[in-house]
Structure formats: structure tokens, C-alpha cells
Structure 1
Amino acid sequence: MNHVLIAEDCKIIRKGISAMIARCQVPINQIIECKNGLEALEIIRNMPIDVLITDIRMPDMDGITLVKELQKSQYIPRIVAISGYDDFSCAVDLLRCGAREYLLKPVKREELNSIMMKLEEEIQKEQSEKRAKRALCYSQIRRILLSENISREEMKEAERLNWFNEQTYSVVISSGTLNEVDETHIFTFPDVEGGQVTLMAEKELKDFITNRNSSSDYGVSDPFQGIFNLRKAYEEARQRRIRGFCMQEREGITSKNCLMPQNEMECFVQRIGTQKISKNETILLELADRVKKGEVEGLQFQDFMSHMIMRVREFYGRILAEEEISLEKLCHMLEFNNIDEYCTEIRRVFSCINERVLRENDDYKSRLKVEEALAYMNENYSRNINMAMVSNHVNMNYTVFSIAFKDYTGDNFVNYLRKIRMNEAKRLLAETDYKIGEIGQMTGYEDPKHFMKSFKWVAGITPSEFRKNLRVKDGITENITPKTKIVTF
């Protein structure tokens, strides 16, 4: 229970009742006290009171008059009447006017506690039913907002919930979410086509507009009544939201100039992954300018961008998945405050795709050049070659080649070349009778001592020992591989 109001002119009795309520078994957020009916009526008109405990006889406005006045209000609290024995006939009148319970003075703690528990149970049950009814109504209204083909029977079913109660409302479509959403708004839907849709009564609408920094980031319908006008109100607010989003100063824009031929859209999508993406940025800025000038309808622009994003998703799907680049936000144009913010996000996302594609293309070109370098090394290992010579052969910067070579092979250039030469030296030692010095020259070592030192560093034994070991076995050539273009270690 949130608020309990005690209306009693006798301070001692008022304080006593307040103390008993504070110690009763029902949790209460706030107990409010006043000394007559006029004060009580003013309090109830300004804040929701769950339970009113009122004396019958009070100055300025008695309890009976207070209860009768409350019958004119939209919200009536649960009323408990307090009286002396000589006021019993008045208490009966008060019960007829809407009081729920009756207590005789002096008020007994047990009786008051019992009444408060009973009323708390009623309040909880009512709130539970209200939440269930609101949830059902919420679901039906959301369906009405999102579908253009709602049958009249479905509309009547929603109307039977009687949530609107003939109150006047406006539909508000805004970007993002409101700072505070509570039941002062008739209904709030936080994610409809990327924006927030709120049904507001007149007072809440005035506060909303007053506190909004810009009129371009929301759209408001004219006032409507009844659920049958909900879709009309929504479409009106949506049109105004799109006009505000596009920063168009005048209404009634009907131009439907062609935004971009289909073949040009395909070129636009293709250019995202090239060095020519800057041309796309120019086209996008020009397009946004046409929309702002009213040369293009906002809805037409929205449909065009939806199709564009769909093609980007189809064309760059693998990269979007690998880089975890999401296009979801771009699908909801009205989530942004205006067209400039939207286009900025489009350029940012497309730039991320562009960077990944260009990087991947550079990696692919580097791999091709490294493979070309490996083929060259396998053909020319017998010559006095080095990394500078090979990098020049494949037209790569020396440093870039060094990094790309190690990324591809897992080894540096010197070690890899040595392994190629040693692999060939082992084959020659096993299959031929060439002298050790001759094999060294054939594998790129002019100095025999250098060859033998390198061989022992790789094989752990000298070339002569390697040859002798092979010749004491049968099938000495079964583990010797023929000359290959690329060596795998």
C-alpha cells in the first residue's frame, strides 16, 4: 500500500490512528494527516491515495460531504468511516455514499489492523488484474500499430478492454527512449521500426514537448479518441517523425524522383570494398541533401536505404560475420535523431567494411608474391641469392617482404633458404657420388667449410657421416624426397 490519508479534526485521535496504522501488519509507504474534508479533498486531487480514513464530523467539510465530492473524481480511494455512537445514522448514509468500512470511536487496534489487511488484499488483487489487463491491451495495441490489416473484430476485441476510457490521446514517435516511462503515459512501445512509440494524454504531451531540445527527433499526431483511430494517429505521427528526421521544413512533399538506378546501386555496393569508397560518401551526402530539400520523400529514402543495406549484407556477409559488424542499427532509420546522424553512421559502418576488404586484398596479394618468391628460391638456391634480391624480384618492399615471408612460412628468409639447400644436399648425398665440396657448390655454398658447418648445424652430423649412415641401410632413398618447388617442414 502506498498512501494512506487520515482526515480527523481531533489531533490526539488523528495521531493515535496514525500510530496504529504505522504498526499494523500492512506495509505502507506514507501516512498523511489532515484536519478536515477540504484539506483531504485537495490532497486526493493532487496525489493517488489508496485508503482514506475519515471522521464524519469535521469543521469546514464533514466526512459525508467529502465522500460525496469524491464521487465526482476519476479516482476514488477506499474509504473507512469513523464515528461515535450518536453518529450511527450518519455513518449509514456515508456507507451508502461509497464508504467501504465503518469504525466506532474509540478505534481499536485489532479492528483497524483487520480492515487494513482486508483492504490491502483487495488492492493487490485489483493491481494484479489491472496488470494482466494492461499486458493484454499492450499486446493488442502493438499489433494494431505494426499491422495495416487488422480486422474490425480484432479492433472491437481491443476496444472491449476499455483501457482508453474515451480519453484523448496523441501518438508520439521519438528516437531512442524517454528518460522516464510510467503510467502517466497511456502506453509506451520502446522498439517500433527503430523508434519509440508513446500514447500520451494532453498534459503529458505538453510536458514532453517543453522538455525536448529539438523538434526534429520526434513526430506527434493530432489528438484522437478511441482505439479505432489508433492506426490513423500512428501513421500521422510517423509521417511527421520522418519529416522531422529528414529536417524538412514544409509538409506535403510528394516528389518521387528516382534516387538511383539499379545498376548504379550495384556499383555503389561494389565500391564499398575498393579505394573508390570516397565517391560513395559524396553520393550519400548529395542524396541526404536532396531529401532535406524535399526533392525526395522521406519514406522513399527509407525504402531505398533498406534495399541498399540488404544488398550490402548479401555481398559482404562473410566479412560482416568475421568482423562482427552489425547492420541492424542501420535498418532502423528512425532510431537516429535526424538524417545527418544516420548518414554519419552509414559512412562509419561502410568504412569498417572497406578497411577489412582492402586489408584482405593486400594480404592476398602478399601471399601471391611470397609464393612467387618461394618458387624463385627453389629454382635459384644454388646461386648466391639473398632477401634483397628476392624481394626485388617480386617487387616488394624489403621490410614488408620480410614480415609477409615470416607470416606465410613461419620462418625467416635465411633459415628457410638454408633448409631448402640442406634438403637438396641430403638428396644429393644419398643419390649421387658427387664430392662433398661439389655438393656444397651445387647447393649455393662456395666455401666447403661453410657448407659443412651449416650442414652439421642442421643435421647434427657432417655430410660424410650422413652419407656413410645412409649406405649401411637398405632402402637408403625411401625417405629422400624429390626436388620440389615449395618445402614443407
Structure 2
Amino acid sequence: MKLIVVDDEKGIVEGLQKMIGRYLPECEVIGTAHNGLEGRNLIQRRQPDIVITDIRMPQADGLDMISMLKETDCAAKFILLSGYADFEYARRGIQLGVKFYINKPVEEEELSGCVRQVMEEIRADRAKQQEMIELKQEVHSRNQEEALRSILELGVDHTDLVEELLRSAHIPTTNTRFASIMIELEGTMDALKEIGFEPLLRQIDLALKPYRGVYRFRYSGPQVAVLIAHGSTIAYGELIRVIRRLKEAVSRELNLSIAAGIGTVQEQAAGISRSFEEARMALSYKVVKGAGAVIPFPETMNREGQIRPVSEETIAKLESALDNMDEAECVGIIRGIFRGMETAPGISPADLQQQCLNILLSSIRNMSFQQLQQNGFLGRHILSLEGISRFRTLEHLEEWMVQVIRGMIAFKVEHHVPKKKDMITEIKEYVTTHYNEPISLADLASRFFISPYYLSQFFKQKTGDTYLNFLTQIRMNKAKELLERTDLKVYEVCQRVGYSDPQHFARMFEKVAGCKPRDYRKNLPDM
């Protein structure tokens, strides 16, 4: 603790310095003064934690000095030193917020006890301030994560809303480039439970330190979503190298393995959702690239000279049959694909393996990470390159593929996964019931055993609207009902309909209803 002594008697100042040095080793006397004006200037300059001051001094007494310092928001704690039992002085001191007094002549025990009492009060004040700072940071982080989740799951057609959400998250948009990354911890969840996510987040912060803004949060299960917002050009090649160095650091420092998908750099905020979808898609290619892969999105694009993939029409039929758990239809489609392979000229075993991977990737792209994790059969077969590479004949590959597809259907039947034709209705019913809970697209996808990306596309295809718009409309309709029928305050309505930030809620309400919540209630007709 830093301490200053102010007294017009030099002998008392020197005596106090000696006692403090002997009995209060945790305190350091950083200056002394011999009148009130000199003391005021010294205290303003050195900013001590504690000031021991005499009351009666020339030029300005101790209480005048304290009064002048209080006007400058001085945070020091004051101990008054006086040989006068004067009630008026004590009363003025109390009015100035002084709670501690020492009588002259000063005894070592009284000085030590009083200063230690002041130090305890200072520590308690600092603990409260730190608690408030951490609470504000936690609220800010939660609001920021909520805004980022909304941005990442919006899709590419909501430029205005993306800008507004970025502003609410205090993320700059002017002259800023953006890139998204999806990072996934590999291996069992035991290691993750042991160390938690914080060490990984710290490694991400260290690796991405060269970029102006880095926003990361736990997205779903063992996945971390990262958004980079940089004020100048983001060199894509350098970004890839940075993520590879991050992978090496996580392995070296935490003894963990990660895989990462890297979306492309976007010049405008409206492209963030696109970059994030690319990052998720790139990460899904770790099935092909193997464990611990760092996969830039451009590497997942089809290139000329590769074996021609199974047609989109055939894949769509296979997906539909899987969604409806029609085993006979699935097996028939697989048989048809292999009959086509038999007629392909010059096809090699490597080509066959690649073709099977393409089919399997297309077959599982509608499945969530949690579904794949729970399905031991898929883990042993689909998520291992050895599952394909051990086969050397077309017939063996065909039978293996049929068994994998049957395993998918058996898993869906066992876990009562709803058929695709009923899924949107069930999702709508669930959201309508649980609108007041923090149900992100990732949470919903996990509940209905479907990938977030596919759910986003499928919901819009079937309803003509995005999931986020649907959820927002449900919440706003309920907010209107509460404003009309109850006396709840606006912030209470905000909490009742699933929002944590009243300002964000008010902006969303105004977008939907055309006016602020308070104005909406004022304009209601008298009943």
C-alpha cells in the first residue's frame, strides 16, 4: 500500500516514517508534506492509497486539504492525526467521509491497528470493484455471444440486421475485413472435462493476436466458433499458417488435438454468415482429410480432373430415403450407383474409395455432430479412412456401403429420430413452446439430430423464412401480448420472451412492430 504523511512538525513526520517502516512492512511511504497546500499537490501527483494527515497546519489545515481533494475525486483513504479533542473538527471530518482518527502522541499499536483497518477496507472496496468489472464483462460477453450466434446463423440475405447486431456487440464494421473459423477438439470428452475450454480459448487469443478483433465462443459440443474482424487486408495464406501454428501450440501446450475449417475472407459484414458456413463445411471434410486437419474452404471445392461425383439428383434421392428411413429405397440407390461404377472405364481402387467417401459425406451431411458421436457404428466405419481403404474389390465396397446405410437407419429408428416430412412442424411446435429459452440454431439442430447448416437451409426451403426470423416473430408476438395484457415493465417483458439485453430487444421490437415497446403500450386503445 502506498502511503503519504502530512504534518507541519518534522519530528512527527520522521517518527511516523520510522514506525511505519518497522511495524507495517506492507506499506511504503512515498512522500511527505508539511502543510495542506503542499500535501494536496503531492497527493494529486502521487495518487497514494492512504494519507495520514494532521488537522491543524498552516496555509490549509488537514480538513481543508481533504475537502479540496474530494472535489477532484481523490480515491485515497484518510486518517486524521490530532492532539485536540475538538468536536467541531471531528464533525467536519465525518461530513467529509473520514472514519479513522489517531490521537497524538502516536502509539505504535494504535497506528498499526488503524492503518491495518484502513487497508482491509481498501481491499474490500477493490474486491467489490473487481466483482463489478467481472460482472459487466460477463454480461457484455453473453450479449456479444448472443449477437454473434444470430449473425452466424442468419444466412446471407440480412445485411441491415447483420450491421445492427455487430453494433450491439461493439464489433467495428467500417473499413473492416472478416473471416470465420470453426475449431473442433478431437478425441474423448474426458480430456475436455479435465481442462475445460479456457486454456484453448487462451491459445486462440495468443495465436490470433496480430489481428485487431478476435471474437470466439463455444459454439456446440467440442466446437469453438471464431470471427476475425481486421482493419486491413487479411492475407488468406498467412491466416492458414496462423491456424496451423495454433494447432501445433495446442498439441504442445495442452496435449490436445484440434481440427479447423477456415472460411474465406469477406470484404463486407454481410459476408460473415457465408464465411462461417464455409468454415463449417470445410471442417466437415476432416472425414476425408483425417484427424487434426486444417482445412481452408477452397480445398473442398471440386476440381477438374477428379472422378465425376454421383449426380446431385441421385444424392438427393438417397438423402430423402435416409430421412424417411426407407431401407429398401436406400439399398436400391446404392446398388444403382455401383452398377454405374462398374461401367466406368479405367476406374482404379483409389477412385472407388474416393467415390465412396463422396457418397458417405453426402449421406451424413444432414446429421449433427452429436448424432455422429453417439453412433458407434458410424464412428467405426464412416469416420475412419481405414474403413474404406481395406477394401480392394467393388463387390466388397458395395456390401460395406449397404451395411453403413443400414446402420444409419437402425440408429435413427432406435433414437426415434423424426422423419424429415414431420420435422419442420415439430421444430415449430418446440420453438413456440420454448421461445423464452436461449434456443440457438445449434441447440435446435442437436435436439432434432440434424446438422445446423442443413437445418438452416431446410427450414428456409420449407417455410420461405429463416429460423431466426421465425423465432423473432414468435417472441415479438408474445411481447405484444404481454404489453397489452399485463403491467410488466419493458425489461421484464424482455426477459419473459427470451432476451437478455433490453436495448437489443427494443430494437428488434421496433423492427417488427414499427415502434418502441413503450410507445406500443401507450398507443393501445383504452379498454
TM-score normalised over the length of structure 2: 0.36
The alignment's TM-score, normalised by the length of structure 1, stands at 0.38
Q: Which of structures 1 and 2 has the bigger CA Rg?
A: 1
